[in-house]
Amino acid sequence: MPRRLIGLALAGLAFALPLQAQEVTTFTLDNGMEAVVIENHRAPVAVHMVWYRVGAADEPPGSSGIAHFLEHLMFKGTDDRASGELSGLVELNGGSDNAFTSWDFTAYFQRVAADRLDLMMELEADRMRDLQMTEQDVLTERDVILEERSQRVDNDPGGLFSEQRRAAQYMNHPYGVPIIGWRHEMEELSQDDALDFYRRYYAPNNAILIVAGDVDPDEVRALAEQHYGPLEPSPGLVARTRPAEPPQLAERRVMFSDPRVSQPYVMRTYLTPERDSGAQETAAALTYLADILGGSGATSFMGRKLQFETQTAIYTAAFYDGTSLDDTTFGLVVVPSEGVSLADAEAAMDQVLEDFVTEGIDDAQFERIKFQIRAQEIYAQDDIQGLARRYGQGLTSGLTVADIQAWPEVLDAVTKEDVMAVAAEIFDERRAVTGWLMQDEAEEVMQ
């Protein structure tokens, strides 16, 4: 094991992969657009991505979901292209395209034969400044994102639970607002909201071009200058400063019941530092801490205590993803065995953290993790799109190319003492949200 487990939203949170030193070239256009080219000549394929330094955490208050809504509307056409024409052209060239929105970024990508890069840049550059749409397009697409919210969140108690916990975790910072948006605000989003957001943030001086695959950096640069070079920068873009968290002084608890829950669990997150440019050491130690405490059910500290030495839990995990512009979270989850109450599961989680401080880190486990991190650098080369994504995510999260390339060495330098030091620092209940997901509150209290 672990098997497909119980609908916990843990994907992508487990362990940030480091990067092997790749053939990476960078340049910046005169209008401020940055570019990263990652060469990989194994297959005649190129991945073309444009990442904007804007995401859901940059939305105006009251317009939650507008960053993601705009992402949908970016496929509606421009002054030169009809609605849907971009995806049609990508498809006619055997390519695939898509887009994604997070709190810190919005990104668009196409995966095509490497000799189609020219057309991809033409299309992507066209919609950076010249988006057009009809009112009807906007209204129908709003229905689509409302259905998307139903599918991702409202139809899934785990999704609702996660939303409620996050809102409690961030008291002031917009990371507490869901990317998809709160339904009552999504229902009011308008074309003007989308276009205001678009005009302000979609510009070369707020964008990063990433091209990975069977390409030549000089040719990429020439194409970028041709297509993206003429675009006007957006005036008045300032540093991304979001409302910061005040000191968090009170432990928070989220008790969520839903009849659709079959498997209860307890999940706790602690407000935690992220990777900072030039100072990634704390985040690197936290990455180890997550792996040591809850990386594998069979070998982690929490798995050993709760799944093997006792049968308190059927599943445990710890997770931390340090790639974030502002403070992120470190999470723990315990899925109790049949007959174990959530109160007992939470008490067991607390006991594990206490024991960890006294027992410390097993030497053999630490060495295994270190070796695995080195091995990740080898396996990561098999996934060119994954490498491209790491640069995009890093660069939109306040890191530099140098930071991203230094990350494997920073990870490699972590010591057991570093890990114990961050553990002593972050496990403070005043900065934590503890959530119980239950089918029926009364039932749980009686146990």
Strand-pair partners of 131:
78
Compute the least distance from the CB of residue 139 to another protein, in Å. 8
Q: Rule CB under 8 A: say whether 215 interacts with another protein.
A: no
Q: Is 447 in the site for another protein (CB under 8 A)?
A: no
Residue choice 23, 79, 80, 115 for contact with another protein (CB under 8 A) = 115
Other beta carbons within 10 Å of 195? 16
* Residues in 374-403 at the binding interface with another protein, rule: CB under 8 A: 374-376, 378-379, 381-384
Out of 34, 59, 71, 141, the active site residue is 71
- Rounded CA gap, 443 and 262, in Å? 13
Is beta strand 328-336 parallel, antiparallel or unpaired with respect to 313-320?
Answer: antiparallel
The tokens describing 421, both together, are: 């030091």
Taking CB under 8 A as the binding criterion, the range among 10-18, 92-100, 191-199, 415-423 that sits at the site for another protein is 92-100
What would the two tokens of residue 240 be? Answer: 């991304």
Q: Is 65 left (phi over 0), alpha (psi -120 to 50) or beta?
A: left
Kindly identify the residues of this chain, within the stretch 129-158, that bind another protein according to CB under 8 A. 139-148, 150-151, 154-155
Cβ proximity to another protein: between 137 and 350 the closer is 137
Rounded least distance, CB 231 to another protein, Å = 23
Q: Is 15 within 8 Å of 295 (Cβ atoms)? A: yes
Q: Write down the least CB distance from residue 399 to another protein, Å.
A: 23
Q: Of 121-129, 350-358, 365-373, 421-429, which segment contacts another protein by CB under 8 A?
A: 365-373
Select the span of 86-94, 221-229, 270-278, 341-349 touching another protein (CB under 8 A): 86-94
Instruction: Pick the closer one to another protein by CB: 68 or 389.
Output: 68
Report helix, strand or coil for 168. Answer: helix
Q: Quick one: which of 93, 190, 205, 257 contacts another protein (CB under 8 A)? A: 93
Residues in contact with 394: Cβ distance below 8 Å, sequence separation at least 6, in sequence order: 275, 323, 403, 404
Q: Tokens standing for 170?
A: 């961030």
Integer Cα distance of 44 and 31 in angstroms: 30
Q: Dump strand ranges (E) for 176-327.
A: 207-213, 252-257, 265-272, 313-320
Least CB distance to another protein at residue 82 (A): 7
Nearest to 242 by CA among 360, 398, 87, 117: 398
Judged by CB, which is closer to another protein: 106, or 206?
106
Site for another protein, residues 313 to 332, rule: CB under 8 A: 314-315
By CB under 8 A, residue 413 contacts another protein: no
CB of 202 to another protein, least distance (A): 16
Minimum CB–partner distance for residue 444 and another protein (Å): 16
- 423 touching another protein, by CB under 8 A: no
Kindly tell me which residue out of 232, 308, 443, 447 binds another protein, with binding defined by CB under 8 A: 308
Site for another protein in 154-213 (CB under 8 A): 154-155, 179-180
- Concerning whether 185 is annotated as a catalytic residue, the answer is no
H helices of 37-179, in order, are 66-73, 85-92, 117-129, 135-149, 157-169
Q: Residues binding another protein: what is the number (CB under 8 A)?
A: 86
- Alpha helix ranges (H) inside 150-257: 157-169, 183-186, 191-201, 217-227
For residues 113 and 91, is the Cβ–Cβ distance under 8 A? no
Strand (E) or helix (H) holding 19:
none
Contact set for another protein, span 251-280 (CB under 8 A):
259-263
Near another protein in 5-34, by CB under 8 A:
5-7
| Side-chain half-sphere CA neighbours of 65 within 13 A | 22
Q: Which is nearer to another protein, 11 or 378 (CB)?
A: 378
Residues from 41 through 80 that contact another protein (CB under 8 A):
42-45, 68, 71-72, 75
Which of 5, 420 has the CB closer to another protein? 5
Tokens 């843990």 belong to which residue? 10
**Selected binder of another protein within 208, 335, 349, 414 (CB under 8 A):** 335
Alpha-helix residue ranges (DSSP H) falling in 295-340? 301-303
Catalytic residues: 71
